[in-house]
Structure 1
Amino acid sequence: MLKHYPQWLAIVEAEQAYAGYEVLNNMPAFYQQLKQSLTYPLAWGNAPEKDFNRWRAQAREKLLECMQPAPPQADFDMKVIESEQREGYTAQKIVFNVSGYSRVPAYLLVPEGKGPFPAVLLLHDHGAHFTIGKEKMVRPFNVSETVMQDADDWAVRCYDGQYVGDFLARNGYVVLAVDALFWGERGRKEYADYDAQQALSANLLQMGMSFGSLIAWDDIRSAEFLSSLPNVDKEKVGTMGFSMGAHRAWMTMAATDAVKAGAAVCWMNTTDSLMTLTNNQNKGGSAYSMIIPDIRRYMDYPHVASIACPKPMLFTNGTKDKLFPIEGVKSAYETMRQVWESQDAGEHFQTKIYDLPHFCSKEIQQAILDFFNKEFHVGNINK
């Protein structure tokens, strides 16, 4: 009880301060009743279906239903725009059709030597920082000094001064990094901020599509594109992301089997822990890019991620991460662990909690490389 007293006191004080009103901070006064109404009837163990493979198919079908409509598909039609030789690999700037709506720029890193190679789809973070996207994960080239400085600063701020994509490519992985809509070269001409993001999300909703779902569909199609490349081993395609990118990574793992293993850094929790009067998630902001309409009526975050089971997954969070309460992290981890263990796949489910804030350190990046190497049975070049 004492452990939860500060949060309990904050809630009581807030409710007292807002007596007579029906909105507390950004939450409806009846938010506790709303949370209590979420019984997650399609979660594994709650659902009437007791055969795991049939449950998995039904849960994925419901997830994709909540993400509808899917953008129209188109042939990928990849073109290489320019390239740069780096130590042990080549960096290519490419374009391809991620949907019938969007032909997108991306970075593709290809190791030297004869393939097919293992591969990783890298999914960038949110960070309320929209001027770059793929450049958060891969060191850009032939860009303006402003973009280069922006990318270098972000690599230091969030990734311990190391570009994750280049680190993986040096160690023998094909790497794909794509801008999500509203970031980098898929952004807006005018200044991009939370207000503009909210307007984009509202406009998509008014035309029958959600922003978060569109990002998820693009990630699915990006995974399928990466898997289709002739120099990629289709049985060794993984995905990794930090923060919003972590949410995108386990969503992609749940939604498609084009990816065979995933690593999610600093995004996993429960709705109960996130939907409070004081958590960052209740402010809107970055949440717009990850909201899947109606999914909470069926499954919580760890239940959706469990659709990936029995595929290998690595989840990491930090004890000092103010965005994701550690008790909610541990609860979500335990929920998922029980699913993997129920399918005799516990050895393929890994979690690590670091004494860190919201951050993807070099130590975490090394752990991710080791994880993929182990699960994909490849050697650690470790350059």
Structure 2
Amino acid sequence: MNHNLRTNKYKRISAFCFGCILYLCSFSAFAQQPTSDVGNFYPLLDAYAGKHNSSLSYLAKDWKSDKKWRRTARAQLNELLAYHPGPAPLNTQILKTTKRHGYTQYLVRYNLNALQQTEAYLLIPDNLKKPAPAIIALHDHGGFYFFGKEKHTLTDNPPPILVDYIQNLYDGRYYADELAKRGFVVLCPDVNYFGSQKLLPELLTPHDTEAYYKQLDGLDESGRIKAFNKLAGAHEVQMEKTILTAGTTWLGIIMQGDRVAIDFLLSRPEVDPNRIGCIGLSLGGLRSTYLFGLDERIKVGVVAAFSTTYAQMLQQHAHHTWMMYVPRQYQFLDLPDVASLNAPRPLLVMNCLQDKLFSREGMQAAEQKLATVYNKMKVPEKFSCRYYDVPHSMNIQMQEDAFAWLEKWLK
């Protein structure tokens, strides 16, 4: 009897110890997993993406024809972007003309398709004697939805909140104006959800806007703009849900509008159709990546503060806008693969080492991919990736480097 008691006691102790070991092993396994924006689901998604990605990358296999690769990859990307509303006449209107120092600024409106219009600032340099190179200045996001095109060119009586914004992100300089003074025709278009295309609170349900309207009382202009930006930011998720339900993508809507910006420039006699480039910071950098990659009419690209790989973004991506995501794209093309679609044409990528939106590893991985593509095409000099020890921004030094790049390849 005592023997059986001792045996049962030993069994219970052994089972307890074994359970402790299993618990500690399990805890250790969890402790070894990296933290992420999706917690314990990250290993699952990372493992899946690791086996199903970038099948149409230039580096995925030895393509017999660069043209066939480019045509195949662009067709797939256009299908994934899933926004094809059909063309419509531009029907351009000039709303305002302002003579500035070194250029003339036109506020214009034109059709994007049969259902959408946008406004843009067109900057024409003084004393043009022949068609000039042109740049599409693609504005950023920054949670600042009230304005778009106004972030790049001087306007009359800008509110303090806009002045501070430009100071923080651009060292206080309107870089589109500077490009115009250097002889470039520049177009600064509003993109979907910003500026002239911004959300209209009066068309939202009262439930969504009751608190917004209450807080407007007593606010100055900058305060009202700040309140609007908060409202628009909160509604990005509703926009994304509805856009996906409608069978399209937000980035598809954005890119269709940006490609019409090229159509607009080609309608202008001041523009040399063979010398068009694009530049942008942050969301503008994303837009520049896709516009450069998708449209062969763009001859030079500049991407500022939006370069990474999806592998790095899988772990941490919570602070990015809903506008950037294209369902299933990673199966076919990584983000740097999109930019590579216009190789061997010149591309400058500028990264910010203090950028909290992207990891240094992601920046370097994207650089390695693009450098390998340009090296494989035997034109390494047409790709440049530079790093600046600054936060998420495009300061004057970065602007000067971008201007030099554009002048090198377009003038």
Query: Which TM-score bucket, shorter chain as reference?
Result: 0.7 to 0.9
The count of corresponding residues between Structure 1 and Structure 2 is 354
Alignment of structure 1 residues 26-65 onto 2, 5 Å:
30-47=44-61, 49-65=63-79
What one-letter code is carried by the residue in structure 2 that aligns with 1:128? G
What one-letter code is carried by the residue in structure 2 that aligns with 1:221? V
2:252 equivalent among 213, 235, 256? 213
CA contact (8 A) 2:93 2:108 kept: yes
RMSD: 2.1
Output one character per residue of 1:170-197: Cα deviation in whole Å (capped at 9) or x when no partner.
Answer: 1111111111111112112323333211
User: Structure 1 residues 308, 164: CA separation in 2 closer, same or farther (over 3 Å shift)?
Assistant: same
What one-letter code is carried by the residue in structure 1 that aligns with 2:358? F
Which whole-Å CA distance do the structure 2 matches of 1:117 and 1:360 have between them?
A: 25
Which whole-Å CA distance do the structure 2 matches of 1:340 and 1:89 have between them?
A: 36
Residue 29 (structure 1) shift: 5.6
Residue 227 (structure 1) shift: 2.8
Output one character per residue of 1:222-267: Cα deviation in whole Å (capped at 9) or x when no partner.
Answer: 1222233111011111000000100100100111112110100000
Which whole-Å CA distance do the structure 1 matches of 2:72 and 2:62 have between them?
A: 11
Counterpart for residue 185 of structure 1? 196
**Alignment partner of 1:126: what SS?**
coil
Residue 315 (structure 1) shift: 0.3
Counterpart for residue 7 of structure 1? none
User: Structure 1 residues 26, 367: CA separation in 2 closer, same or farther (over 3 Å shift)?
Assistant: farther
What one-letter code is carried by the residue in structure 2 that aligns with 1:82? K
Which whole-Å CA distance do the structure 2 matches of 1:242 and 1:301 have between them?
A: 15
What one-letter code is carried by the residue in structure 2 that aligns with 1:322? K
Which whole-Å CA distance do the structure 2 matches of 1:64 and 1:202 have between them?
A: 20
User: Structure 1 residues 317, 103: CA separation in 2 closer, same or farther (over 3 Å shift)?
Assistant: same
Counterpart for residue 163 of structure 2? 152
**Alignment partner of 1:162: what SS?**
coil
Which whole-Å CA distance do the structure 2 matches of 1:75 and 1:90 have between them?
A: 25
Gaps of 5+ in 2: 1-28, 202-227
2:329 equivalent among 274, 286, 295? 295
1:67 equivalent among 67, 81, 84? 81
Output one character per residue of 1:148-183: Cα deviation in whole Å (capped at 9) or x when no partner.
Answer: 333322210110100111111111111111111111
Residue 269 (structure 1) shift: 0.5
Q: Note if 1:375 corresponds to 2:409.
A: yes
CA contact (8 A) 2:118 2:191 kept: no
Which whole-Å CA distance do the structure 1 matches of 2:43 and 2:327 have between them?
A: 21
Which whole-Å CA distance do the structure 1 matches of 2:178 and 2:345 have between them?
A: 24
Counterpart for residue 145 of structure 2? 130
CA contact (8 A) 1:126 1:286 kept: no
Counterpart for residue 99 of structure 1? 113
Residue 215 (structure 1) shift: 0.5
Alignment of structure 1 residues 1-383 onto 2, 5 Å:
13=31, 24-25=38-39, 30-47=44-61, 49-113=63-127, 114-141=129-156, 145=157, 147-190=158-201, 191=228, 192-276=231-315, 279=316, 281=317, 283=318, 286-377=320-411
Gaps of 5+ in 1: 1-10, 378-383
Residue 104 (structure 1) shift: 1.1
Which whole-Å CA distance do the structure 2 matches of 1:17 and 1:319 have between them?
A: 22
Q: TM-score, normalised by structure 2?
A: 0.82
Which whole-Å CA distance do the structure 2 matches of 1:327 and 1:17 have between them?
A: 16
**Alignment partner of 1:262: what SS?**
strand
CA contact (8 A) 2:92 2:111 kept: yes
User: Structure 1 residues 136, 16: CA separation in 2 closer, same or farther (over 3 Å shift)?
Assistant: closer
Runs of 4+ in 1 over 6 A off after TM superposition: none
**Alignment partner of 1:308: what SS?**
coil
Return the index of the structure with the highest Cα Rg.
2
**Alignment partner of 1:39: what SS?**
coil
Structure with the bigger percentage of helix: 2
Which whole-Å CA distance do the structure 2 matches of 1:127 and 1:17 have between them?
A: 26
